[in-house]
Amino acid sequence: MNIPVLHDFPLDPRCYSVRLALALLGVDHRVQPVDVFPGGAHLESPYRELTPTGELPVFETGTTTLVGSVDVLVHLADGTAWAAPSDDWIDFATGPLEQFYSCREQSLYTTDPVDVTAARAAVQSLDDLLASRTTNEAWVAADRPTVADIALFPAAALSRDIGIDHDRYPALRSWIRRIKQLPDFVEMPGIPVFP
């Protein structure tokens, strides 16, 4: 039987959200590292065929090929306790979150000036959302951790990369800490396991 393959760039937060989901959900898989930077391997064969736009992560389930973190996360959570009761998080993940990530990439890989206004608004929105939860522990989409938390976590945890500190986001700090304490949590460069 084929074990699923994740085509992964370790420094990419979208790929990390999938690695985190695979770890938390306990899904058996193999990781195939892709030299995105500086190699640009995602734009060459065989990735030309797997992901024509160069988007990562790519997840080969054995029967189908999924491209992009949202599709992979939805697939992984489907039918499990990690599924989110609504799809609202997908709008956030494909809108404000993508703005945040492109901002971070500009900051890390170019010398261009970075406008973090939109990214700051996204982080504030997340803090507000968590502060509005009336459950004992605040989670993004339900009264328990779901795929929505996994999808949004990397941006929040990496916000210092673009100069957005956590000092003014108390609900976010508490949530980040609780995610790091989930059983089988994994790190990425820039997101240490310790609180």
Nearer to another protein, 62 or 95 (CB): 95
CA dist., res. 31 & res. 58, Å (int): 10
Report the interface residues with another protein, using CB under 8 A: 86, 88-89, 91-92, 95-96, 117-118, 121-122, 124-126, 128-129, 131-132, 134, 165-168, 170, 173-174, 177, 194-195
CA dist., res. 74 & res. 141, Å (int): 14
Half-sphere exposure of 69 (CA within 13 A, CB side): 29
Nearer to another protein, 10 or 95 (CB): 95
In the complex, least distance from residue 40 CB atom to another protein, rounded to whole angstroms: 32
Nearer to another protein, 59 or 139 (CB): 139
In the complex, least distance from residue 163 CB atom to another protein, rounded to whole angstroms: 13
Residue 84 CB neighbours (<10 A): 22
Structural contact between residues 161 and 188, judged by C-beta atoms closer than 8 angstroms: no
Nearer to another protein, 48 or 177 (CB): 177
In the complex, least distance from residue 47 CB atom to another protein, rounded to whole angstroms: 31
Nearer to another protein, 56 or 84 (CB): 84
In the complex, least distance from residue 192 CB atom to another protein, rounded to whole angstroms: 8
In the complex, least distance from residue 91 CB atom to another protein, rounded to whole angstroms: 5
Determine the 3-state secondary structure of 98 from DSSP.
Answer: helix
Torsion sign over Cα 149, 150, 155, 161 = positive
Residues 6+ apart with CB under 8 A from 11: 36, 37, 188, 189
Nearer to another protein, 62 or 163 (CB): 163
Torsion sign over Cα 132, 137, 143, 148 = positive
In the complex, least distance from residue 130 CB atom to another protein, rounded to whole angstroms: 10
